[in-house]
Amino acid sequence: MENKTGKYLKYALGEIALVMIGILLALQVNNWNNNRIEQNEEKEVLVKLNADFKENKKALNKFLIEINNQSNSQSTLMSLVGVSKEELYKQNLDSLFYVTFGASEFAFADNTIKNIMQSGKLNLLKSEKITDLLYKWNTLSEVRTRRMTKLDDWANSQFIPYLIDKISFKQMDKQGNYSWAGKSKIKPDYYPLFQDIAFENFLDNHLWFNQQVIERCEETDKLIDKIIEATEPSTK
């Protein structure tokens, strides 16, 4: 009986061991499969992020060219404050005003980053460097948007209303080839405007707002370069 009991115990322990080994192997295979799925998802996210930010760089560089042109036009207008009428009218003032108030807009490709942030898939990214860069991107985007909104709000609520009875918007819009634009029959005289200290102050403030936007955009451009580098597909 003792021999039989010993054999049964050995058999039972052997069966238990086989079951445990089977469970462990199943868990290992399941973990391996889950890791493989997560790795594939991570690669897909990184590829999309890399493509998005390469497009973002193009859009931002185009916007920077436009806003720097606006700033240059404002600086030219500033340099003409207080000059003689003869010197003033050597310039194409309508063109300078048109560029100064150019409607520069751009939108970033942000579907991928919004998706991973909102769906909780940020933990798919194993690189702490990349997640830190994406958090910085969100923070800087908020700051940049506030700066751009302040510039637009101030220009529309303060600067443009000040110019309403001082320049011809019809002549200014001619530079954009709009159907309604053209030479004004009123023939406005811009000389008194360029002798007004208030105009100089408006230009100075506009330049300051513009500079804030430019600096935030330049910071954004550098951050985009870092994100593109960090998300570049591995050649290994």
The per-residue b/e assignment along 179-193, b for 16 or more CB within 10 angstroms, e otherwise, is eebeeeeeebebeeb
The long-range contacts involving 69-75, CB below 8 angstroms and separated by at least 24 positions, are 69/99, 69/102, 70/99, 70/100, 70/101, 70/102, 70/104, 70/210, 71/207, 71/210, 71/211, 71/214, 72/99, 73/97, 73/99, 73/100, 74/100, 74/203, 74/206, 74/207, 74/210, 75/207
What is the pLDDT, as a whole number, of residue 11? 67
What is the pLDDT, as a whole number, of residue 22? 73
CA distance 66 to 72: 10
Write out the chain's pLDDT in tens, 236 residues: 556 566 666 666 677 777 777 777 767 766 666 666 667 788 888 899 999 999 999 999 999 999 999 999 999 999 999 999 999 999 999 999 999 998 777 788 888 888 887 777 777 788 889 989 999 998 999 999 999 999 999 999 999 999 999 999 999 999 888 999 999 999 899 999 999 999 999 999 999 999 999 999 999 999 999 999 999 987 54
Count how many Cα atoms sit within 13 Å of the Cα of residue 199 in the half-sphere of its side chain. Answer: 21
What's the one-letter identity of residue 157? S
What is the pLDDT, as a whole number, of residue 9? 66
CA distance 214 to 119: 32
pTM of the model: 0.81
CA distance 98 to 2: 105
What is the pLDDT, as a whole number, of residue 21? 76
